[in-house]
């Protein structure tokens, strides 16, 4: 029995337990695996280095283009274990200046029939001071690490920029890149900041405070015109890229879903693909794109790369496919590149767009 099938055996037992409890248990297990890596052996293949997957993006050198999306490692305690899971980079957070408890429970829901998850977590995190201590303990990192920034719930929008700049000053030195989260649906009023004026101000201020590449994470629910405006604002302000996309509030995608929070996973795939194509066609390589949302196989990751994604991220797929998902995607990606005659993954980026 291979390791992915092994997870398939235990998954029904895990799914009988409250999702947030399982998340906490997974966090504890992975933290322990950072000390005792052999704990991963029954479920995760040994990390392999596929030379065709080596890439450069946003000033970073990566062993592979598959990253762990923000939201899993909220407090920057799983960077080493993420490397052992096969990821080429990880994005930690979302972190806010002050600690937050997040929204009331229950706030995490699984929908196995649609391979999707709904969350209304609300940026629960330990705050910048403890977050900085956690990061400093893990340095030097064996792979690039992005940090996802958010504003505190209590911070009014007219002072939101202060939160982002404060985070850049405190945490910028630890980051390979900074992701500006203006698109979570779980902080009231946050998406109101997802406009060209604020994006321009935020990218410029964060770049000035941190001297690190700045990416902006966008909502899948934006009309195409608005996505394009945000993309151009990021590029014109000197930003490095777009992360497309955050979770969606289209609750019709999942039968009997809660009318709150945001949906990720397979149900988000169509929206995430659409955003990637819109931005890739419009920006024509001016800035990079990280594609996230509904990626659960090598074939899907390859589709995103062919359609303009420099990098891809997964999260929900870990819940349904297991902790070996990064290794499975990387193995498949290397085979797909060989099949199509590409020596490097960079040669495939945007090859399906006709650019």
As annotated, the active-site residues are 184
Residue 69 CB neighbours (<10 A): 27
Tokens of 29: 């297990």
Strands in the chain per DSSP E: 55-57, 60-62, 66-68, 89-95, 108-111, 116-119, 145-149, 177-181, 214-218, 241-244, 262-265, 288-292, 311-314
Contact (Cβ atoms closer than 8 angstroms) between residue 92 and residue 146 = yes
DSSP label at 164? H
Q: How far apart are the first and last CA of the chain?
A: 43
Closest CA to 146 of 137, 156, 157, 135: 135
Closest CA to 311 of 215, 195, 188: 215
Contact (Cβ atoms closer than 8 angstroms) between residue 245 and residue 262 = no
Output the furthest CA–CA distance in the chain (Å, rounded): 56
Residue 4 burial by Cβ neighbours in a 10 Å radius (0-12, 13-18, 19+) = middle
Local structure of 62: helix, strand or coil? strand
The residue with tokens 């990098």 is 311
The residue with tokens 């390791």 is 3
Strands in 172-224 per DSSP E: 177-181, 214-218
């Amino acid at each position: 029995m291979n390791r992915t099938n092994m997870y398939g055996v235990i998954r029904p037992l895990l799914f009988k337990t409250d999702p947030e409890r399982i998340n906490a248990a997974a966090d504890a297990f992975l933290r322990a695996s950072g000390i005792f890596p052999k704990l991963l052996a029954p479920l995760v293949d040994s990390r392999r280095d596929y030379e065709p997957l080596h890439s450069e993006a946003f000033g970073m050198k990566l062993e592979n283009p598959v990253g762990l999306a923000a939201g899993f490692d909220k407090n920057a305690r799983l960077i080493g274990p993420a490397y052992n899971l096969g990821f080429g980079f990880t994005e930690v957070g979302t972190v806010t200046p002050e600690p937050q408890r997040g929204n009331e429970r229950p706030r995490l829901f699984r929908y196995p029939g649609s391979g999707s998850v709904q969350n209304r977590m609300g940026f629960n995190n330990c705050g910048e001071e403890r977050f900085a201590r956690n990061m400093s303990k893990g340095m030097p990192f064996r792979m690039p690490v992005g940090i996802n920034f958010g504003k505190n719930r209590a911070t009014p929008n007219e002072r939101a920029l202060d939160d982002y700049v404060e985070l850049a000053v405190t945490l910028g030195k630890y980051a390979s890149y900074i992701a500006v989260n203006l698109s979570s649906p779980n902080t009231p009023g946050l998406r109101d900041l997802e406009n060209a004026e604020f994006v321009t101000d935020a990218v410029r201020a964060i770049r000035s405070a941190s001297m690190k590449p700045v990416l902006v994470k966008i909502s899948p629910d934006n009309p195409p015109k608005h996505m394009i405006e945000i993309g151009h604002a990021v590029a014109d302000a000197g930003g490095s890229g777009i992360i497309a996309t955050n979770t969606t509030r289209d609750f019709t995608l999942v039968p009997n879903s809660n009318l709150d929070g945001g949906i990720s996973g397979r149900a988000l795939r169509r929206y995430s693909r659409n955003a990637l194509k819109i931005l890739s066609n419009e920006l024509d390589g001016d800035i990079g794109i990280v594609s996230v949302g509904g990626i659960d196989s090598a074939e899907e990751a390859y589709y995103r790369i062919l359609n303009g994604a420099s990098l891809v991220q997964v999260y929900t797929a870990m819940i349904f496919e297991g902790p070996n998902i990064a290794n499975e995607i990387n193995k498949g990606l290397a085979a797909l590149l060989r099949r199509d005659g590409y020596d490097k993954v960079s040669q495939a980026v945007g090859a399906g767009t006709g650019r």
